[in-house]
Structure 1
Amino acid sequence: MNNFFIDTFKITKNEAQILSSSFYIEEYSKGDIFLKHGDICNTIGFVKKGLLKSITIGKEKELIDDFIFENQFVADYRSYLTKKKSTKDIICIENCTIHTIHREKLEELSNKYLFISKIEKKVTEHLYVLAEKKFDDLRLLNAEERYLKLFNSNRRLLYKIPQYDIASCLSISPETVSRIRKKLTKRS
């Protein structure tokens, strides 16, 4: 975890140690819920091992809005920032090891160390850019381009995700995912 923090946030070994020592290691089984819609997100996790999916819960339907792979952070950041109830379920697709930090601990660190505030700013900016890219992708890319973008983000784990979940995340039908996979297999 230290090396990830050093490489990602360009902080010193000592700073990385201060940050990583504030996380707790939690084990989750396949099907466990990291965050339940209706709860306020007060925890940020870092996925050391495993795979999760984030599902936005609406009045009439549910949509998978993201997959969270190893070496990524997991949270409903909107709920975390606003301290309002989450509209998401975040569920483990497989057994997971997640390093977690609670809001109070992160706030304590942020008040004590300037580098933590800088990291929080970078993370917020990064998440905003990702959300904008995803919005643009849905409007500008065709189904195959969106699939390839997801596929290239983590080829190994994408095969562990059910086809209907991939379809939900990409806002396409499971049949379209199947056609794209067959087409790509023929190209290989």
Structure 2
Amino acid sequence: MSHPPSFLRDILCRRFELSHAEATTYLNAFHRHEFDADQVFVQAGSICHHLGIIEEGLMKCTFVSHDKEVIHEFLAEGSFATSYASFLTEMPSSKRLVCLEPTVVWVANRQDLIKLVQDHPFVQRMTDRVNRQLFLLLHEQLRSVRLDSAEQRYLALLEHRPDLAQRIPQYLLASYLHVTPETLSRIRRNLQAAARS
């Protein structure tokens, strides 16, 4: 039986202030799965009964409406991967998670996670912290979309997640930034021209 790599344990220890023993206990509920590029991890319209932690690879999290895909988030190494609202409510997911690259994910199902919460109080503390982090992230995303210019959003992406600019096609980055691909191309040209002058 394979075990999650130590860097995932270390991420959990830092993010949730866990001991190595607690992080190991948590990760023991997870099993390794490999996904191909373009393979679906969570399907929109289905109830999500699992939670993943990405060891290697990249996913896009999207909303789909009238055959139009809107990027909500990108999930890379060390990220949790799930449709959280669907997982909590047991209602069909409004999101779709799809692998952009060959991706290795450690996956736990709902029942195993419920048992973890029942048996180990630290897991409830983790859940409380996840809820807080998600609220703050969504607040910042909403603030940025409402108040920041497209260029400011792109510069923030380069500052906080520089790997994405290299790994993700421009049309997906544009959707994530709520601009057209043409606008993103113009922003990049302007920034390159300013850097040369």
Deviation at 1:60, TM superposition (A): 5.9
Give the Cα separation in 2 of the matches to 1:128 and 1:157: 22
Amino acid at match of 1:57: V
Asked whether 1:6 is paired with 2:21, we answer: no
The answer to whether 1:50 aligns with 2:51 is no
Query: What is the match of residue 173 of structure 1?
Result: 180
Show structure 2 runs of 5+ residues with no match: 1-7
Kindly report which structure 2 residues correspond to 1:34-73, keeping only aligned pairs within 5 A, or say none: 34-59=41-66, 61-73=68-80
TM-score (norm 1): 0.95
Equivalent residue for 1:84? 91
Deviates more, 1:1-10 or 1:58-67: 58-67
Secondary structure (helix, strand or coil) at the match of 2:88 reads helix
Give the TM-score normalised by the residue count of structure 2: 0.91
**Conserved 8 A contact 1:47-1:98:** yes
Match of 1:132 in 2: 139
Deviations 1:107-152 (A, max 9, x none): 1000011000100110111111111111111001000111112222
Matched, 1:119 2:139: no
| Partners of 2:159 and 2:102 in 1: CA distance | 23
Once residues 168 and 104 of structure 1 are traced to their aligned partners in structure 2, the CA distance between those partners, rounded to angstroms, is 35
- Aligned with 1:159: secondary structure? helix
- State whether residues 47 and 74 of structure 1, in contact with CA within 8 Å, keep that contact through their aligned partners in structure 2: yes
Indicate the RMSD between aligned Cα atoms, in angstroms: 1.3
Shift of the alpha carbon at 1:83? 1.0
Secondary structure, counterpart of 2:54 in structure 1: strand
Task: Kindly provide the CA deviation profile for residues 75-104 of structure 1, in whole angstroms up to 9, marking residues without a partner as x.
Answer: 111111111101111111111111111111
The DSSP-based 3-state class of the residue aligned with 2:91 is coil
Q: Which residue does 1:103 correspond to in 2? A: 110
Q: Aligned equivalents of 1:156 and 1:13: distance in 2? A: 28
Q: Which amino acid aligns with 1:143?
A: A
The answer to whether the Cα contact below 8 Å between 1:58 and 1:87 also exists between their aligned partners in 2 is: no
Q: Counterpart of 1:28?
A: 35
Corresponding letter in the other structure for 1:35: V
Alignment partners' CA distance in 2, 1:122 and 1:51: 23
The SS at the match of 2:124 is helix
Structure 1 counterpart of 2:50, which letter?
A: T
Instruction: State the partner residue of 2:154.
Output: 147
Q: What is the count of residue pairs matched by the alignment?
A: 188
Partner of 1:163: 170
